[in-house]
Each structure stands twice: as C-alpha cells, then as structure tokens.
Amino acid sequence: MSKIKWIIFGLVSIGIVAGLVVYSNNTTKNTGISDSVDAYAVQAASDSNGKIADHVYNDNDSKVVLIEYGDYQCPGCASFNPTIEKIAEEYKDKIKYIFRNYLLSYHANSKAAAAAAESAGLQGKYWQAHKKIYATQSEWEYLDSNERTEYFISLAKNLSLDTTKFAEDMASAAISDKIAYDASLATKSKLSSTPAFYLNGSPVDSATWGDEDKLRALLDDKIEELNK
C-alpha cells in the first residue's frame, strides 16, 4: 500500500473510532439521568421526569422495594399482571411495589397506553387505569392513532376523570418526559425485555417471578432480612 493510501486509511480509521466514542458518549448522555441517580431507589418528582414521581402501590415506609418494568402492549406483561396485582395487594404494607414504563419499539400503541395511565395518575387514578389498560389490551392494541385516542378517552370517562384534561395530559411534554425517564432507568439497569423485576437492586429471574410461590418466598426472605 502506498504512503498516501496508508495516510488516508489512518485518517478514516481515526474517524471511525472517534465516531464510535461520540456515539458511546451520546448514548450515555441520552439516557436523561446522571451517574449519581440510583435506578433502584424510589424516584421523586423532578424536572427530569416531568415532575411525576414513581408510582408506588400503597406507599409505605418499607425498605423492601420491588420494581417492575413493563410495556402495556406486551402480552406477557398483560397475562402476568393479575398475579403481580394480587401479590402487590397481599404485601401492600410490607413492600414498596413500583411500576415503570419500558416501551418495546415494535409495539405501536404502547406509548399511548403508557401516556393514558400516566394521565390518569395526574388525576389520582393511576392504578385503576393501569389495571384497566392491561385487562383490555386485546381491545386497543391494534387500533390506529385516532381510534386508540378515542378508546383511552372513553376509558378515562369510565373512571370519572376530566376527559379534556386527560386528553391534554396525554399529549403533554411532562408525560413524555416521565415515560422517557423510566426508560432511562431501565437502560441504566441493563434491562432488555419485559416484564422485568428488580428487588432492592437485584434482578429477579423469570423462573422466580413467574412462580407465585417462589416470588412470595423471595419477598418473605427479603422482608425478614431487612427487618432484623
């Protein structure tokens, strides 16, 4: 190879490496959260998450924190939701159960569904909407953009919400920020699929969370450990 070709090759190689470094840095920066943020702790309302705090079922002073990341259009999430709802209710005074959004790119209506739940939350009915959205997944998952908006507004009406405010909130920057912030926490936790669970910072494998008895045993052990 001639000297000129070697120089060109070297410059191109440097450019590629530099580009990868920039991409890597941007990927980190685009998570929307700093390195100091503890992804496994309860997140308070802030500018980063649209001033919408984590949704904690029956918020209490427990040191045991179970975090679920889910996508409302994910069939596995929907089928497991009745089980985790039952466990959350059973342990409502013993653990902090948190649900966060993690949208899968191939689910066209998942963001609208997440926005609907978050919008209901701004009117004090997050968990009611959360349950209803999962329970009716087959009714809205393949609707077009206009139909799905009408569907979720109808859901809001059934929950006795202010539908005008609900519709405005669904399209708001605050709701988008909250959904993106949840995704950033998921990225920091190295999550890649849904549903996914973390108990006090440790991932819970599917063989455990997928078995009610094993999940209860895990929670019981953690409760006993932290209450000694």
pLDDT tens per residue, range 86-140? 999 999 999 999 999 999 989 999 999 999 999 999 999 999 999 999 999 999 9
CATH superfamily placement of domain 55-226 = Glutaredoxin (3.40.30.10)
Quick one: average pLDDT of 15-23?
33
- Are 123 and 90 contacting, i.e. CB atoms less than 8 angstroms apart? no
Residue 42, C-beta contacts closer than 8 angstroms, at least 6 positions apart: 53, 54, 56, 65, 96, 98
pLDDT at 12: 35
pLDDT tens per residue, range 184-225? 999 999 998 899 999 999 999 999 999 999 999 999 999 999
pLDDT at 16: 34
Other C-beta atoms lying within 10 Å of the C-beta of residue 214: 14
Tokens representing 222? Answer: 């953690």
pLDDT at 33: 79
Does the pLDDT of residue 10 top 90, yes or no? no
pLDDT tens per residue, range 20-54? 333 233 333 344 677 889 999 999 999 999 999 99
Angle ∠(227,198,53) on CA atoms, nearest 5: 90
pLDDT tens per residue, range 143-195? 999 999 999 999 999 999 999 999 999 999 999 999 999 999 999 999 988 99
pLDDT at 228: 67
pLDDT tens per residue, range 57-80? 999 999 999 999 999 999 999 999
* All structural domains of the chain with their residue ranges: 1-30, 55-226
Q: How far apart are CA 89 and CA 95, in angstroms?
A: 10
